[in-house]
Amino acid sequence: MHNYKSMKLMNFSEVTGPQFHKVHVGVGHRLDAFSSGVLVLGIGKGNGVLEHLCKSHVTRDYMLEGEFGKATDNFTHTGRVIEKTTYDHVTLDKLERVLAMIQGANQKALIMYSQVDLHTQEAYELAVRGLLYPHGKSPPILTGLRCIHFNPPHFTLEVQCVNETQKYLRKLIHEVGLELRTSAVCSGVRRTRDGPFKVENALTRQHWTAGSIIQAIAHFSKATRKIRKLEMYKQTAGQLNSNAQVQEQTRMCENLVKTYSKRLTSVIATKGYITKY
Amino acid sequence: MRVCQRCVSLLLSRPLSAVLQHSTRALHQRSHLTLLQHSTRHTLSQRHSRQTWRHFADHQAASPDVYNMIDLAQKEVVPLNSDVHRIDLDAAVHTSPLQEISEEEAVQIQVPSALPPESSTLRPYVDKSETLSKLVQLGVNLWKLEQRPNVGSMLVRLDFHADVAPRLLFLKDLGVEESKLGQLVTKNPFILTESLDNLEARVSYLKSKKFSKQSVAAMVSKAPYLLNFSVERLDNRLGFFQKQLGLSAEKARDIVTRLPKLLCGSLEPIKENLKVCELEFGFRGNEIQHIVTTVPKVLIANKRKLTQIFDFVHNTMDVPHSLVAKFPQVLNAKFIRIRERHLFLEYLGRAQYQPSQPNYISLDRLVFLPDDVFCSEVALATLEDFERFQKTL
């Protein structure tokens, strides 16, 4: 296990310490403690790509679980109950009407914030292909919303959105309840996609080892390069990054299912130390 | 050359603090002085006629940084004063560093390695200090130890033959394996500063309490701080376990051998855990005894985590007290594991924890089996299904 080329005692690992013990791990779009799902992390040089990801207006997919019949102070089923209501009058088509209304309002907001004049042909084509996105700062906007499962009092919504926070999504459930003249709380927020990073490729807890992480990094290297390239084209021509350099610098983001980045750092640090030999 | 090597060993045998006070060269020269005064043979061929101490002064004069050294020599060696002044005037002519010197003098010039007087790591001292190099060869992780405040300086000051070796031999006699000695010292470097009488007294106390030789060795390897505690403290704790838990002497010995950390920590958290088990969870006395003898870790587990697990197992999984007492491993497992596996079984409709019903799943199998065996035997599904289910939680 020791490097026999230089048997000097002071080069032993017991004296110098592990080779890698400060791994910079950065988090992409945040996921609060109540939510679960895909969380993109960046390691080392990949943290720069994370920034580009944040700026690039990628949409995110969420599955929201809701429950009719009560309202709480923090919009979740674990909060302090403020009121209880009946929900027998709620049917699927009423729910879908409410969802359509919300989606319409969001579409208008999207068009307004994307700062295009919808009377032009290009704007129409962009809108048809779904390529409109808000420039600069904007409030959370839902680009897609539909009901997956309806079993009163429980229901599940699938949402695609931009610039959101999980609290906004829980509030959305509350507002859906209000529109239906009842009340609703959110019993779960789960992110299924963050830009190009989907839940199928996410690593579950058993796979939080150096080998699988390196595999995941390799798997997403194409996507990373794309993100970097997009950002590069956006910037002025002063940047000279050859393809080879981008490939080298790509140590990047990967998916985890729950927010345990501290544990991940320790895993990488210790495993990285062992694999050195 | 031989002289210089002796200087180096003198350097190492003194504690480093002494070295820090004088510069290394002063020490070098002082020993030169004492040794040359007694020896008639010297390697400077040109100045045979002069007396030895003059040779010494000349030798000093010939070396490049003579100005510093002469100051120190004046302070330390009184009889040389007048001669040194006289020679000084002569030597002033010779002291230019561009002056050519003879081969013998060139060979004489020893550049001693300057050990840094202070350093934030032990790395520069490892090659020079016998204690540190032997510790590294033993497998002690010096890097971890130097992170702790003051431990690094303490280790450097230890003398191998007087302090470290007797204690390591003592541990070996006790039965601790050589490969484990490194880990032991890494966890507890203060075992090297504990007095041998105390160590022997504590070991004899444990043996008087009828712990076998192997169990004492196992306890010391598992709990490196064990022998640093006084006899009264060990006695206090052993008495507590026997009285409070109502265990027989043999059972108490058994749990202490398996988990010697019980003897090291304070008793307050253990008392709290016992209270929690009795009052919050509602276990009866004999159930608590059984739990503690099967899984002693419950005594030092985190109270909050224990409560979380028990709450989930009893209220959500609907497992009665008797079953939990029968399989106390469940209280030691990770909460996330229990939760995920239970939800998976519930999703598949196989969450049956009553022994009287068919398709009964015992709690220890729920918790103990690795993932693939759990999926194939208990849940009767594939590992991919389980992972896909995990991603929906």
Domains of chain A: 60-194 (3.30.2350.10)
Strands (E), chain A: 25-27, 36-37, 39-43, 60-68, 70-72, 81-84, 141-151, 154-162, 184-194, 197-198, 254-256
Indicate the range of A180-189, B45-54, B181-190, B255-264 predicted with least confidence: B45-54
CA proximity to B19, closest of B30, B4, B5: B30
What residues in A contact B375, CB-CB < 8 Å? none
**Residue B225, burial from CB neighbour count under 10 angstroms (0-12, 13-18, 19+):** middle
Q: Which amino acid is present at B108?
A: Q
Per-residue model confidence (pLDDT) at position A94: 92
What residues in A contact B143, CB-CB < 8 Å? 13-18
Strands (E), A181-227: 184-194, 197-198
| Mean pLDDT within B219-237 | 88
| Mean pLDDT within A61-82 | 90
Q: Which residues, 6+ apart, have CB-to-CB distance to A211 below 8 Å?
A: none
Among B137, B385, B391, B393, the residue to mutate for chain A (most A Cβ within 10 A): B391
| Mean pLDDT within A187-210 | 85
Q: Is the pLDDT of residue A103 over 70?
A: yes
Per-residue confidence at A7, pLDDT binned at 50, 70, 90? low
As a whole number of angstroms, the distance between CA A40 and CA A30 comes to 9
Q: How far is the alpha carbon of A160 from chain B, nearest alpha carbon, in Å?
A: 17
User: How many CB pairs lie under 8 A apart between chains A and B?
Assistant: 44
Per-residue model confidence (pLDDT) at position B309: 92
Tell me how far apart the 2 most distant CA atoms of chain A are, in Å: 80
Of A9, A10, A204, the CB nearest to B391: A204
As a whole number of angstroms, the distance between CA A85 and CA B169 comes to 76
What residues in A contact B127, CB-CB < 8 Å? 8-10
Tell whether ipTM is more than 0.95: no
For residue A10, what is the nearest residue in chain B, using CA coordinates? B123
- A131: number of Cβ within 10 Å: 9
What residues in A contact B136, CB-CB < 8 Å? 9, 12, 14-15
Per-residue confidence at A231, pLDDT binned at 50, 70, 90? low
User: Does B390 contact A204 at a Cβ distance shorter than 8 Å?
Assistant: yes
For residue B141, what is the nearest residue in chain A, using CA coordinates? A14
Of A10, A18, A36, the CB nearest to B123: A10
Of B123, B144, B391, the CB nearest to A257: B391
- Radius of gyration of chain B measured on its C-alpha atoms: 34
Q: Which amino acid is present at A237?
A: A
Per-residue model confidence (pLDDT) at position A270: 45
Between B63 and B146, where is the model more confident? B146
- B324: number of Cβ within 10 Å: 21
- B105: number of Cβ within 10 Å: 17
Indicate the range of A188-192, B27-31, B250-254, B292-296 predicted with least confidence: B27-31
Kind and range of the H or E run holding B379: none
| Mean pLDDT within A158-165 | 88
Using a CB–CB cutoff of 8 Å, tell me whether A12 touches chain B. yes
CA proximity to B70, closest of B26, B19, B28, B31: B26
Of B123, B137, B336, the CB nearest to A16: B123
- Radius of gyration of chain A measured on its C-alpha atoms: 23
DSSP conformational letter for A65? E
User: Does B122 contact A15 at a Cβ distance shorter than 8 Å?
Assistant: yes
Q: Is the pLDDT of residue B104 over 90?
A: no
Between A222 and A89, where is the model more confident? A89
What Cα–Cα distance (Å) separates residue A16 from each residue in A11, A217, B152, B169? 6, 29, 13, 27
Q: Is the pLDDT of residue A159 over 90?
A: yes
For residue B130, what is the nearest residue in chain A, using CA coordinates? A9
Per-residue confidence at A59, pLDDT binned at 50, 70, 90? confident
As a whole number of angstroms, the distance between CA A265 and CA A18 comes to 14
Catalytic residue among A32, A61, A88, A93: A32
As a whole number of angstroms, the distance between CA B263 and CA B240 comes to 10
Active site residue A194: no
Q: Which amino acid is present at A113?
A: Y
Distance of CA B296 to the CA centre of its chain: 25
CA proximity to B192, closest of B176, B169, B223: B169
As a whole number of angstroms, the distance between CA B393 and CA A42 comes to 23
User: Does B136 contact A16 at a Cβ distance shorter than 8 Å?
Assistant: no
User: Does B123 contact A202 at a Cβ distance shorter than 8 Å?
Assistant: no
- Per-chain mean pLDDT for chain A: 76
User: Does A9 contact B137 at a Cβ distance shorter than 8 Å?
Assistant: yes
CA proximity to A225, closest of A194, A197, A250, A196: A250
What Cα–Cα distance (Å) separates residue B333 from each residue in A59, B256, B330, B341, B343? 38, 21, 5, 12, 16
What residues in B contact A209, CB-CB < 8 Å? none
Among A13, A14, A187, A273, the residue to mutate for chain B (most B Cβ within 10 A): A14
Distance of CA B363 to the CA centre of its chain: 38
Among B115, B122, B123, the residue to mutate for chain A (most A Cβ within 10 A): B123
Of A15, A199, A204, the CB nearest to B126: A15
As a whole number of angstroms, the distance between CA A178 and CA A159 comes to 18
Indicate the range of A27-36, A170-179, B61-70, B266-275 predicted with least confidence: B61-70
Indicate the range of A154-163, B153-162, B336-345 predicted with least confidence: B153-162
Among B142, B335, B339, the residue to mutate for chain A (most A Cβ within 10 A): B142
Using a CB–CB cutoff of 8 Å, tell me whether A19 touches chain B. no
What residues in B contact A191, CB-CB < 8 Å? none
As a whole number of angstroms, the distance between CA B24 and CA B181 comes to 34
Per-residue model confidence (pLDDT) at position A53: 79
